[in-house]
Structure 1
Amino acid sequence: MSRFLKICRDFILPVVIGLLIAFAIKQFLFTIVKVDGSSMSPNLHNNERVALLKTAKIKRDLVIVFNANGVDGTKVFTNNSPVYYVKRVIALPGDTVKYTSKGNLYINGKKQSQSYITKKQRTTGTLDPINLTGKGFTLYSLGEQENWPKTYFKVPKNKYFVMGDNRAKSNDGRFWGLVPKSKVTGVVKVFPWNSHRSVINNYK
C-alpha cells in the first residue's frame, strides 16, 4: 500500500466519516439552538441554549420549535427565510380546547394542571392580551375574535395549538391560529442544570 493511500485510510477517511456522522446527527436527529426572546420565561430564558430533538414524538405540554414564516399571520415576513418560535404544545390533533374565565384549561373536557405557570399568568397573563378577561375561550370563539384564516371546533389532523409560558408577552396561537406539523423542527430539551427542567423535559 502506498504512503498516500495509507494516509487516506488512517487519517483522512476517519475525519470524513466523523464529519458526515456529525452532519447527519445535526441535520436529522439532534442540534443545539438558542432561545430568542422572553415568550417562554421564566422556564426558558432569552439567549439560553437548549437541545432540539428532531425525531422526538410531539406530545401535549412539551415545548417545540417551529418555523413561523407562513404560520404567524400577524407579521409580514420579507422573504422565505425561516423564523423560529419556541412555544408549548397545548392541544394535539383531535383535541377540543376550553379556557375558562377563571384560568382553567380543559382539553377534551379534562382539566389540565398548567403548573408550569402561575395562577396570575393563567388569568391576566392569558386572557388580558386577547381582551377576554371574564370570558374565556374555545378554539372556535378565539378564531372568530382574532380573525384566524380558518376557525376550528377542534384541532384538525397534522396541526397543533401552542402558547408561550409567558403569555402576557407571547405572540402565539391565540392570535394567529394553529401550527402545521410540517413546520415543526423538533422538541426542546434543556440541560440538567436548568432549574425548570421538570416542566420542559418531561412535564405531565
Structure 2
Amino acid sequence: MRKNAAGPAGKTTPEAKGRGKIREYAEAFAVALLIALLVRTFVVQAFKIPSGSMEKTLLVGDHIFVNKFLYGYHLPLTKGRVLGYSKPVKGDIIVFVFPEDPGKDFIKRVIAVPGDTVEIRQKRVLLNGTPIEEKYSRFADGNTIDGFVRTRDNMEKITVPPGKYFVMGDNRDRSYDSRFWGFVDEDAILGKAMVIYFSIDWSLEVRWYEVWRYPELVRWDRVGDVLR
C-alpha cells in the first residue's frame, strides 16, 4: 500500500522533506550549470597559454579571460558576425580557431586589418608603408634569414582582404603565424584576450609532496594584469 507524503493534519513527513531538499539542490545545480554554460558560450571564456609565442606579453602557464561578446558572434552556416560592439583593431590580442587545424585555438596580436598593406623587412614590420613601433615584440634570434621570397624575417607587401586579419606572435622568432599560413577569417575569431587571472610557473623545482612550497609556483605579480 502506497504511503502518503503528508502526515496527519496535512503535515509533511521527514521523508517528503528530504525529497524536497534534494529536488531544490538539483534545481539549483542545474540553474548554476546553465548559467555557467551561457557565460562560457556568450560572455567570457578561460584559456591557458601553452607556448611561448606571445612572450613576454604572455608566458607559458598564464591563464587568461577572453571577452567573447565584444566582437559579436558567428552563426553557423552564415557569413559575418552579429551583435558585435566593435571589430578587432590593430594591437588587439585575439583568440581564434587555427585555420590549419579547427581543433586548436591560437592566440596572436592583430597587426593589420582589412584594407591595410603589410610588409616585413629584416624583421621590421611596415604597415601601409610606414615602419611601426612595437614595444611588445621580442626576438629570440639576432640573425635574419635572407634569400627567400617569404620567411619569418622578410615578407613581400600584401593587402589584407575584406573580412580577414593579419596576426603575429609577440615572440617573433618563435611564433607560427600569418607570415606562414596566411590570414585569420573574422568568423574564426573567438574573442579578445582581456586579463591574466592566474599564472603558474611549472619550471620551478618544487617536488610534488612539498605542498607548502606550491605558492612559490604562482607568479603573483602577473595576476590581474590587463592585456594590451
Flag whether TM exceeds 0.5 (same fold). Answer: yes
2:91 maps to which of 61, 65, 71:
61
- Identify the structure with bigger relative contact order (alpha carbons < 8 Å, sequence gap 6+): 1
1:47-196 correspondence runs (5 A): 47-57=61-71, 58-68=88-98, 71-72=99-100, 82-101=103-122, 103-118=123-138, 121=139, 124=142, 128=145, 136-140=154-158, 154-191=159-196, 193-194=221-222
Residue identity in the other structure for 1:37: S
Q: Which has the higher helix share?
A: 1
Alpha-carbon separation, structure 1, partners of 2:172 and 2:52:
10
Q: Is the deviation greater in 12-21 or in 178-187?
A: 12-21
**Per-residue deviation, 1:89:** 0.9
1:23 maps to which of 37, 41, 46:
37
User: SS where residue 185 of structure 1 aligns?
Assistant: strand
**Contact 2:97 2:188 (C-alpha < 8 Å) held by counterparts:** yes
The total of aligned residue pairs comes to 173
Residue identity in the other structure for 1:63: I
- % identity of equivalent residues: 28
Alignment match, 1:33? 47
User: SS where residue 174 of structure 2 aligns?
Assistant: coil
Structure 2: unaligned runs, 5 residues or longer: 1-9, 72-87, 198-220
**Contact 1:124 1:168 (C-alpha < 8 Å) held by counterparts:** no
| TM-score, length basis structure 1 | 0.69
User: SS where residue 161 of structure 1 aligns?
Assistant: strand
**Contact 1:129 1:168 (C-alpha < 8 Å) held by counterparts:** no
| TM-score, length basis structure 2 | 0.62
**Contact 1:130 1:174 (C-alpha < 8 Å) held by counterparts:** no
Distance 1:197-1:171 versus aligned 2 partners, 3 A rule:
same
CA-atom RMSD, angstroms? 3.4
Q: Deviations over 1:70-116 (max 9, x none)?
A: x23xxxx5xxx611211111111111113334x44332344422110
